[in-house]
Amino acid sequence: MTRALLGFLFVSSLAAADWIAVVQKWDDSISLYDAATGASIARMPAGRKPHEFVLSPDRRLAYISNYGADRWTENSPGENTITIVDLKARKAAGTIDLGKYRRPHGIHRARSGKLYVTADFPGALLIVDPAARKVLRAIEIGQELPHMVAVTADETAAFTANSGSESITAIDLKTGTPVAHVKVGGVPMGIALSADESKVYVANRPGNAVVVVDARSRRVLSEIRIPGQPARLLVLPGGKRMLVALIDSGEVAVISLDDEKEVERFSVGDHPEGMAVDADNGVLYVSAQGDNKVVKFSMPGWKRLLEIDTPARPDPIAVLNRFE
């Protein structure tokens, strides 16, 4: 594998992945699948209407946000928990009660081990200690339906995409205060930082665009037009490429971040959203929610390698090694 290709691919500390973990939102479950064959290894309960998840540093535990509703447009109060699943023991390992904060959705595990979790009602960013299983701080942001979250590596700043307010919010994590609301229009959903953390990329789903915001001045810099309703973003380290899951057109678009242009796209299936990369094997996994499948692609090249059948509505994906 060339050095240029390594720069393009997602740099990972893992050896070649043996399994993938997938949350199935309408099945209230998380499953392990063999990455080579697609065979189902285990299926475990994941709480009511699970949505997003992250893994512990040793990749044994999954922390899963229990949204409690099928769609973000619903008015139901949903749930107020994070379910913990022990992937090695293949069983539920407890819950984290979020108190009055309901419909947790986006979740990010930082280097410190803390979890950063968005909640719809009231709109907030929660900072959670997964070991103590408690909320350390709740930052109410004054915006509606914060969907996904991006956090700087040093944990001094966070950015939420607020689906109900046509905005993103910049949060000072040192003081625990929102410092700016930036209007980006439409329905902001996926959010990601550039490799140098100087820019914030936000998927505006009905606007068919990725909005580029200066992370320091908090000004909108540009829009990258991407037909197909962009829902999730994955910036590849090195800052050269970004993958965009297009939930309406059933594709993934590849964006050159140097000139902010779409360079190619490839078909996935119905309602693609979750994406994960196994760098050492040079493959990409994408969930096709409406087809109840996860599709495995070569990268680059985007050749369709494998379709993995799943229970209803697979979405977020993670790659991991077999437990010894």
Average pLDDT, stretch 29-39?
97
pLDDT band for position 289 (cuts 50, 70, 90): very high
Average pLDDT, stretch 198-212?
97
- What CATH number did the domain enclosing 151 receive? 2.130.10.10
- The pLDDT score that the predictor gives to residue 324 is 62
Name every residue whose Cβ is closer than 8 Å to that of residue 73 and which is 6 or more positions away in sequence.
Answer: none
Q: Is the pLDDT assigned to residue 200 strictly greater than 50? A: yes
pLDDT band for position 75 (cuts 50, 70, 90): confident
pLDDT digit string (tens) for 103-139?
999 999 999 999 999 999 999 999 999 999 999 999 9
pLDDT digit string (tens) for 152-178?
999 999 999 999 999 999 999 999 999
**Alpha-carbon span 55 to 58, nearest angstrom:** 8
**Alpha-carbon span 47 to 136, nearest angstrom:** 22
- The pLDDT score that the predictor gives to residue 8 is 40
Average pLDDT, stretch 23-32?
98
Q: Is the pLDDT assigned to residue 4 strictly greater than 70? A: no
Average pLDDT, stretch 260-280?
95
Q: Is the pLDDT assigned to residue 192 strictly greater than 80? A: yes
- The pLDDT score that the predictor gives to residue 72 is 85
Domain region containing 212: 3-320
- The pLDDT score that the predictor gives to residue 238 is 75
Instruction: Give the number of domains in the chain.
Output: 1
